[in-house]
Amino acid sequence: METTKKSTFKVLFYLKKNAPKKNGKVAVMCRVTVNGKQFAFSTKLDISATNWDLKYSRVLGKSREAQEVNGKLDKIRLGMKECYSKILKNEGTVSSAKLKNTFLGMESGELTFFKFCEQFIADFEKKVNSGLRVQGTHSRYKTLLKHLPNFALAKYGYSDITFHDLTSEFVENFDYYLRDDLTLNHNTIWLYMINFTTLYRLTMSRKHLAFNPFSEYKNTKKDKDRGYLLRNELEQLVAFNCEK
């Protein structure tokens, strides 16, 4: 009978106060300790330092923001504990490096979001070749999946991201990136975000993502001014007598 070696395990959230954002908020970090060895990562959540409960590692109060942030922290803690238990059950022991790689999805062979997107593009291309989908949509997805890695590298320094990295903040910042850095027009951004929404729905349907990162994102198509003439302008045009 295989025995498991119990290891010390702790999850702690703390604020990165030495690097405040331009809006005055600070990042919430997660520190995990396994057998005395630690690793840390950003939760992709920002809060005001004055609202932080140091004792319980949570946001103070019962505001909507406090409930949302605390809910996301609970999900991270639960996910880390489930990951720890799974490794312990399957391998009998857990190391800090193994837990980090498994939880963040960066271990060799693990499916990351961009790997998922590459497979999506390959499958979509087959549908285009079979006449089931159109080339224009395929091209837009390919362009979107060029912008996303460029954004992740420029904003976060990541060459790839996990499904865990797909947060509401990530979505909003990507919109700003398309709008401000790439200076794309509103309706082009709207189309890209529709494709992005399709990708996230697919990740949720395949159980890679447990929450909706687009829940706080709002965007609608803007009608273009086609330059139509009003009725009275048409009547004036018809009645106009052009002298030779």
Q: In 3D, which of 76, 75, 87 has the Cα closest to residue 34?
A: 87
Q: How many CA atoms does the CB half-sphere of 112 hold within 13 Å?
A: 16
Q: Is residue 243's pLDDT more than 60?
A: no
| Counts for the chain of helices (H) and strands (E), in that order | 7, 5
Taking only the tens place, the pLDDT of each residue in 42-71 is 888 999 999 999 999 999 999 999 999 999
Query: Which residue is associated with the tokens 């409960």?
Result: 53
Q: Is residue 158's pLDDT more than 50?
A: yes
CB 28 within 8 A of CB 43: yes
Eight-state DSSP code of residue 221 = P
94: buried, middle or exposed (CB in 10 Å: 19+, 13-18, 0-12)? buried
Domains in the chain (CATH in brackets) are 9-104 (no CATH), 111-244 (1.10.150.130)
Range scoring the smallest mean pLDDT among 125-129, 137-141, 219-223: 219-223
Q: If pLDDT is split at 50, 70 and 90, which confidence band does 241 have?
A: low
CB 73 within 8 A of CB 28: yes
Query: Which residue is associated with the tokens 């970090």?
Result: 29
Q: How many CA atoms does the CB half-sphere of 154 hold within 13 Å?
A: 13
pTM: 0.54
What pLDDT shows up at residue 105?
A: 66
Across the chain, what does the average pLDDT equal?
A: 86
What pLDDT shows up at residue 182?
A: 96
CA atoms of 159 and 24, how far apart (whole Å): 27
> Which residues, in sequence order, are CB contacts of 136 under 8 Å at separation 6+?
none
- Average of per-residue pLDDT across 215-221: 88
244: buried, middle or exposed (CB in 10 Å: 19+, 13-18, 0-12)? exposed
Q: In 3D, which of 186, 214, 184 has the Cα closest to residue 199?
A: 214
Query: Which residue is associated with the tokens 């106009």?
Result: 240
What pLDDT shows up at residue 198?
A: 94
CA atoms of 208 and 39, how far apart (whole Å): 23
- Average of per-residue pLDDT across 196-217: 88
Q: In 3D, which of 165, 3, 6, 1 has the Cα closest to residue 85?
A: 6
What residue spans of the chain are helical by DSSP H?
64-91, 96-104, 113-129, 135-156, 168-176, 186-205, 231-239
